[in-house]
Amino acid sequence: MIDKIPPPNILIVDDEPANIEMLGEVLMPENKIRVVVNGPEAIEIALSSNPPDLILLDIMMPGMDGYEVCRRLKADKRTSKIPVIFITAKSEENDEKKGFQIGAVDYITKPFRLSVIQARVRTHLALKRYQDHMETIVREQTEDIRTASEYLRLEVEERKKTQVTLEQTNQSLKDSLLRLQETQDHLIRSEKMAALGGLVAGVAHEINTPVGIGVTASSFLAMETRKMAERMAKKEIQMDDMQKYISIASEATAIIENNLKRAGDLIQSFKQVGVDQSSKDRRFFRCREYLDMVLLSLRPKLKKGRHQVIVDCPEFLEIDSYPGVFSQIITNFVINSLIHGFHGESQKIIHISLSQEGERLRFTYKDNGKGMSRECVEKVFEPFFTTKRNSGGTGLGLHIVYNLVTQVLQGTIQCTSRPDEGAEFTITAPLNPQPV
């Protein structure tokens, strides 16, 4: 009989009864909730024999504020791994920056939407469970490797003591060298798993990107709606105003819808650290139309650096494939260009082209960024390879792209690049891949 997994244990730290009631209402059905109204009580529970799996922490509280509570939790090894999400009315950029600097995994401003709270809590609980699981695996394999290494050391010493013939000694050393090589391979695999466990927190940033874009779009739409309501109340509205509002509303809702779907796709991708081969999103779609839709959701990020995207794709090119896979591939390419290729630069160009070559689709993505060395090109699709480790890079983005292309689209992908000459990725795949 399989033991029932207990519900996650969440601690709410807030001195406003209304907030506590709303949070409890949305989280209670699938989580165990505990509530305290001040910082010292929160620290006491975190240090108890039954610590929370996640803490929702207000900042503005009497006595010890939320910043100090989080700082103390992260300074203590016993509580440093408990994820903390700030929920606060402090919405200034410096306040949010301070929250992340002292160790919070997320920062949500009031007034908040309960659906967003629920989605982010689920995401961070899933990430914590996955990180705990990976750390357990790493500990177990590290102990196995230590045991194997100790066994090999004792065996080598024993063989040296036997003083067998030179031929037997040489053979014994060859055998020992082979086994040491196998142990080294195990160590390399364990180090990669340890790296994944340590970088899980960085995954939250990847997931929060589409969620943040959606929240920004909804806030902008709400502001425009209030303006329209005020003008209607004053009877100052004109037909041009109405047409402009309808255009804004259409664009904002499209951004929200596409980014919420993309957030769900990213969560599934990172949970599996690979490709979901049983995707149910296969359908006929027009490449140009879908590509424009994906780029629309990425427009806020591209606008920051005033970068330009040039698309070369026949308007009526239609394929029977997996649109969600194309969305992830394009998104990872663009994010990779922004983080690595265009870092610190503005007004760069991305060129995307799609064309049909017989029964195959040719997809080319090219930027004019900083480019890569030959050594980086050779490793670019390897898992955990990144040149931005200290800046939050996970090294998983292009590895996931590689798996999506080869396993789901059943195609091939190549990368060509030179320093200061940008990077180019070429994908060829069947127009109608076999079901996976």
Asked if the model's pLDDT at residue 421 lies above 50, the reply is yes
C-alpha–C-alpha distance, residues 231 and 332, integer Å: 42
Range of the domain at 149: 127-255
In-domain check, residue 2? no
Q: Is 430 helix (H, G, I), strand (E, B) or coil?
A: strand
Residue 76: which pLDDT band, with cuts at 50, 70 and 90?
Answer: very high
Angle at 26 between CA 97 and CA 45, to 5 degrees: 65
What pLDDT is attached to residue 180?
63
Same domain, 278 and 425: yes
| Averaged pLDDT of the chain | 82
Same domain, 294 and 419: yes
270/221: higher pLDDT: 221
The DSSP bridge partners found for residue 320 are: 284
Residue 66 sits in a domain whose CATH number is: 3.40.50.2300
In-domain check, residue 194? yes
pTM assigned to the model: 0.40
Asked if omega into 6 is within 30° of 0 (cis), the reply is: no
Closest CA to 203 of 83, 98, 68, 79: 83
What one-character-per-residue DSSP string does 211-234 give? HHHHHHHHHHHHHHHHHHHHHHHT
C-alpha–C-alpha distance, residues 319 and 222, integer Å: 37
Number of domains observed in the structure of the chain: 3
Task: Identify the H or E element spanning 36.
Answer: strand 32-36
Q: Angle 114-162/239-272 helices, nearest 10 degrees?
A: 20
Same domain, 425 and 279: yes
In-domain check, residue 120? no
Taking the alpha carbons at both ends of the chain, their separation in whole angstroms is: 33
What pLDDT is attached to residue 193?
45
C-alpha–C-alpha distance, residues 421 and 417, integer Å: 7
Same domain, 161 and 56: no
Domain end marker among 83, 112, 141:
112
In-domain check, residue 121? no
Same domain, 137 and 74: no
Residue 13: which pLDDT band, with cuts at 50, 70 and 90?
Answer: very high
Q: pLDDT of 274-307, one tens digit each?
A: 333 334 568 888 999 888 888 887 887 788 888 8
Q: What is the largest CA-CA distance in the chain?
A: 105
Q: Is 62 helix (H, G, I), strand (E, B) or coil?
A: coil
In-domain check, residue 235? yes
Angle at 381 between CA 375 and CA 382, to 5 degrees: 85
In-domain check, residue 265? no
**47-51 mean pLDDT:** 92
Same domain, 226 and 279: no
